[in-house]
Amino acid sequence: MKVSNFPVFTQKDVPSEAEVASHQLMIKSGMIRKLSSGQYSWLPIGLRVIQKIQDVIREELNNIGCSEILMPSVQPAELWKESERWDDYGPELLRFTDRHNREFCLGPTFEEVITDLIKKDVSSYKQLPINLFQISSKFRDEIRPRFGVMRAREFIMKDAYSFHESQSCLDMAYENYKSAYKNIFKRLMLDYTIVDADSGNIGGNESNEFHVIAETGEDDLLLDDELNGMNLEIAKVKYSEDNLESIIKKTGLTHKKGIEVGHIFKLGQKYSEKMKAKITTKDSKSINMFMGCYGIGVTRIVAAAIEQNHDSNGIIWPKSISPFEVVIIEIDGHKNKEVRSHSSEIYDLLQNSKISRIYDDRDASFGNKMKDWELIGVPNIVIIGKNEAKNKTITYKSRLGNEKLEIKIEDLINKITL
Ligand code: ATP
Ligand code: MG
């Protein structure tokens, strides 16, 4: 990519409502722009980060035999009435009617739609297990959208659903998802922990949350020395205490703030019972299917990763989700033919080595370009000016260090691919 056809929308100022670092940096670095409360458009750089995260999720879910589908975001009310969540879900469910006065909602989660889908196609234990996921926009009319994409009203979630003939099959699948999630968060290079959680209005009898540890997190976690533990709701019930301080006093557990980036649930037969999703077993009995559901907040991960990885100059992307691996910054390329042609050569060489790169070919000062790319947070910076063009070298700077090194192009490729 060249900046001349991959626009960079960096800006200096941030609105006063941007309280946390990730929200400020996402606006400054030109990743997102606000449309209305809790709704954001994703600009080219931001979208590349989302796609990197999605690639990791897809790969790990495919590895456990989960296939991708896509369901409509507008859902008919009848299904929510069948599951009895039309009333239970409350004002977070955005409801409306169509021209025929039929009631609909904008999907905040998809248990109803998928249960309805599966029950129409599956009737025998022989067709199970089934594991499906989608990555799509969800809408929740949050009472207090804040922190940018961290608590948005419209956001991208990966939601997976599994269907089984028995509790033990569900138990096995649940463990598979848990280990896929561990792989995902490890590959995304996040500092995270898994806690016991309550099932909220999704339901079921066992659930775990995945949290990125960060001071700006909205959730209270109670953790032991190995960072295992539970969220506050569970701790209150478990230790029969009604506040954080008294639980800490009673248990000696450590309190940390977390950003919930994933949540997995054993739903059991909650939806299959209400929506009559039945199968015939091996011994010809008719039973309700056993279900699990597994969510990941894709867009929330972007903010969580920034909360954990930034400094006073901007974002410092973990290698695996950086929008680009390398940025090439040319100095006065528009005025100097040698610089332009040497930069273009490096650009092509990196392409041949399958290294993703962006080439800043703008007519702008070196200082401004450097500021922009430190803000955007690409981990490897390549600088090309008169000297480098003459010596057929590049100057390398890591986003993290201050040192600048004039090196050969082969050494650059080694540095990046190591
Ligand atoms: P929270 O407690 O933060 O409101 P939740 O428990 O209601 O989230 P789930 O129903 O478990 O959320 O949804 C699965 C995942 O979707 C969450 O773990 C989270 O990462 C993400 N998510 C939920 N609500 C939002 C939101 N308003 N904005 C961005 N991501 C969200
Ligand atoms: Mg949750």
pLDDT, tens digit (0-9, with 9 covering 90-100), for 197-214:
987 777 777 899 999 999
R_g of the chain, CA atoms, integer Å: 25
Q: State the average pLDDT over residues 22-44.
A: 98
CB 279 within 8 A of CB 287: yes
Q: What is the pLDDT of residues 352-390, one digit of tens each?
A: 999 999 999 999 999 999 999 999 999 999 999 999 999
Task: Take atom 16 of ligand 1 and give the residue whose Cα is closest.
Answer: 297
Measured in angstroms, how far is the CA atom of residue 298 from the centroid of ligand 1?
A: 10
CB count in 10 Å sphere of residue 408: 12
Atom of ligand 1 nearest to the CA of 108: 10
- Per-residue burial over 170-200, b = 16 or more CB atoms within 10 Å of its CB, e = otherwise: beebbebbeebbebbbebbebebbbbbbebe
CB 40 within 8 A of CB 34: yes
Task: Take atom 31 of ligand 1 and give the residue whose Cα is closest.
Answer: 297
Measured in angstroms, how far is the CA atom of residue 326 from the centroid of ligand 2?
A: 36
Atom of ligand 1 nearest to the CA of 301: 20
Instruction: State residue 198's pLDDT score.
Output: 83
Instruction: State residue 118's pLDDT score.
Output: 98
CB 181 within 8 A of CB 173: no
Which structure tokens are listed for 284?
Answer: 């010809």
Residues sharing a CB contact under 8 Å with residue 410, sequence separation 6 or more, in sequence order: none
Instruction: State residue 199's pLDDT score.
Output: 76
Q: What is the pLDDT of residues 203-258, one digit of tens each?
A: 777 899 999 999 999 999 999 998 899 999 999 999 999 999 999 999 999 999 99
Question: Would you tell me the crossing angle of helices 298-308 and 44-63 to the nearest 10 degrees?
Answer: 110
Measured in angstroms, how far is the CA atom of residue 220 from the centroid of ligand 1?
A: 15
CB 261 within 8 A of CB 219: no
Instruction: State residue 88's pLDDT score.
Output: 94
Instruction: Give residue 27's region: left, alpha or beta (phi > 0; psi -120 to 50).
Output: alpha
Measured in angstroms, how far is the CA atom of residue 354 from the centroid of ligand 1?
A: 35
Q: How many CA atoms lie within 13 A of 301 on its CB side?
A: 35
Helix (H/G/I), strand (E/B), else coil: 54: helix
Ligand nearest to the CA of 149: 1
Task: Take atom 18 of ligand 1 and give the residue whose Cα is closest.
Answer: 262
80, containing H or E segment: helix 77-82
Q: How confident is the model at residue 417 (pLDDT cuts 50, 70, 90)?
A: confident
Distance CA 373, CA 359 (A): 11
Measured in angstroms, how far is the CA atom of residue 341 from the centroid of ligand 2?
A: 52
Measured in angstroms, how far is the CA atom of residue 131 from the centroid of ligand 2?
A: 20
Give me the domains of the chain, ranges plus CATH numbers.
3-311 (3.30.930.10), 324-417 (3.40.50.800)
Measured in angstroms, how far is the CA atom of residue 89 from the centroid of ligand 2?
A: 14
DSSP state of 202: T
Instruction: State residue 206's pLDDT score.
Output: 87
Distance CA 22, CA 369 (A): 21
Identify which of 300, 301, 307 to mutate to test ligand 1's pocket (most ligand atoms within 8 A of the CB): 300
Q: State the average pLDDT over residues 37-48.
A: 98
Ligand nearest to the CA of 146: 1
Mean pLDDT of the chain: 96
Instruction: State residue 200's pLDDT score.
Output: 74
Instruction: State residue 82's pLDDT score.
Output: 98
- pLDDT(418) > 80: no
Q: What is the pTM of this model?
A: 0.96
Distance CA 339, CA 324 (A): 22
Atom of ligand 1 nearest to the CA of 142: 27
Task: Take atom 4 of ligand 1 and give the residue whose Cα is closest.
Answer: 151
Q: What is the pLDDT of residues 143-187, one digit of tens each?
A: 999 999 999 999 999 999 999 999 999 999 999 999 999 999 999
Atom of ligand 1 nearest to the CA of 210: 18
- pLDDT(67) > 90: yes
Measured in angstroms, how far is the CA atom of residue 263 from the centroid of ligand 2?
A: 5
In the block, tokens 């897809």 appear at 58
Q: State the average pLDDT over residues 304-318.
A: 97
DSSP structure string for 155-187 = EEEEEEEEEESSHHHHHHHHHHHHHHHHHHHHH
Q: State the average pLDDT over residues 55-84.
A: 98
Which structure tokens are listed for 376?
Answer: 């955007």
Instruction: State residue 205's pLDDT score.
Output: 78
CB 410 within 8 A of CB 352: no
- pLDDT(261) > 80: yes
Atom of ligand 1 nearest to the CA of 200: 6
Pairing of strands 326-330, 357-360: parallel
Measured in angstroms, how far is the CA atom of residue 41 from the centroid of ligand 2?
A: 24
Residue 144: exposed, middle, or buried by beta-carbon count in 10 A (0-12, 13-18, 19+)?
exposed
Q: Among candidates 398, 399, 400, 396, which has minimal Cα distance to 410?
A: 396
* Ligand 1 cavity residues, CB under 6 Å: 109, 140, 142, 151-152, 155, 157, 200, 202, 260-263, 295, 297, 299-300
Which structure tokens are listed for 93?
Answer: 């469910």
- Counting residues of the chain whose pLDDT is more than 70, the rounded percentage is 100
Distance CA 316, CA 387 (A): 28
Identify which of 139, 147, 157 to mutate to test ligand 1's pocket (most ligand atoms within 8 A of the CB): 157
Q: State the average pLDDT over residues 116-143.
A: 98
Residue 360: exposed, middle, or buried by beta-carbon count in 10 A (0-12, 13-18, 19+)?
buried
Identify which of 32, 190, 263 to mutate to test ligand 1's pocket (most ligand atoms within 8 A of the CB): 263
